Chains A and B, each alone.
Chain A
Amino acid sequence: DAGVIQSPRHEVTEMGQEVTLRCKPISGHNSLFWYRQTMMRGLELLIYFNNNVPIDDSGMPEDRFSAKMPNASFSTLKIQPSEPRDSAVYFCASRGRGRGPNTLYGYTFGSGTRLTVV
């Protein structure tokens, strides 16, 4: 089990540039979540998908943020144009069906993408 795979691990970009973060969930998991982590606000849910369909995007801060899940094994989070205040660690997490500490309500997180916008 390779876990949730995120790329890149680190991204440094200039203000105004487009940034695309990628996530490969655990095979067989049917829910995928994008979180943003900052010192000030902690972990914030941006959007989540169930069976590839966006269910709740109320956490997406602005229209500059968009997320897609074209299939069960891939999702992207795009920021266009990026701004310095977008600097944060972005986590992707997935969750499978069924009950148990690593399935129902128990997400598996990726290692995150540390984004720095200068």
Chain B
Amino acid sequence: GQQLNQSPQSMFIQEGEDVSMNCTSSSIFNTWLWYKQDPGEGPVLLIALYKAGELTSNGRLTAQFGITRKDSFLNISASIPSDVGIYFCAGQQPGGSQGNLIFGKGTKLSVKP
């Protein structure tokens, strides 16, 4: 099936640093979503993007829907310890089974105080 390539797989950063992660695909998507999963919990939606080129912020988080519709990135500014977790991108393809999201493998973020 279709794969989303998410990178990096893991990141170890110092508190206060900015973080950037991205997702790419060989096919186009018409929706990109970014989720965060805390240990022992389910993924929680952070940001949703619906149009190519769209740039959306949610507090210290900013995400963009790539112009080619084949990629998206998520930035976190001034990281804090509670940013620790696994971040997933997810996408919906045109003509795809309605509501069926494809998920990336995740980026595990560790923040040193």
A residues whose Cβ falls under 8 Å from a Cβ of B: 4, 31, 33, 42-43, 45, 48, 50, 55-56, 91, 93, 95, 100-102, 104-112
Contact = CB atoms under 8 A, between A and B. Distances in A.
Interface residues of B, number: 22
A45 B31 CA distance: 17
A6 to B, nearest CB: 8
Given A50-B99, A91-B42, 20 more contacts: A4-B42, A33-B99, A42-B105, A43-B88, A43-B103, A45-B101, A48-B97, A50-B98, A55-B97, A93-B42, A101-B33, A101-B45, A101-B47, A101-B48, A107-B45, A109-B42, A109-B44, A111-B41, A112-B40, A112-B42
A108 B99 contact: no
27 contacts: A4-B42, A31-B99, A42-B88, A42-B104, A42-B105, A43-B43, A43-B88, A43-B103, A45-B101, A48-B99, A50-B99, A55-B97, A56-B97, A91-B43, A104-B31, A105-B92, A105-B99, A106-B33, A106-B45, A106-B48, A108-B45, A109-B35, A109-B43, A110-B42, A111-B41, A112-B40, A112-B42
B42 A111 contact: yes
Contacts of A106: 33, 45, 48
Chain B facing A: main interface SS: loop
Contacts of B42: 4, 91, 93, 109-112
Interface of B: 31, 33, 35, 40-45, 47-48, 88, 92, 97-101, 103-106
B6 to A, nearest CB: 9
B41 A112 contact: yes
B74 to A, nearest CB: 14
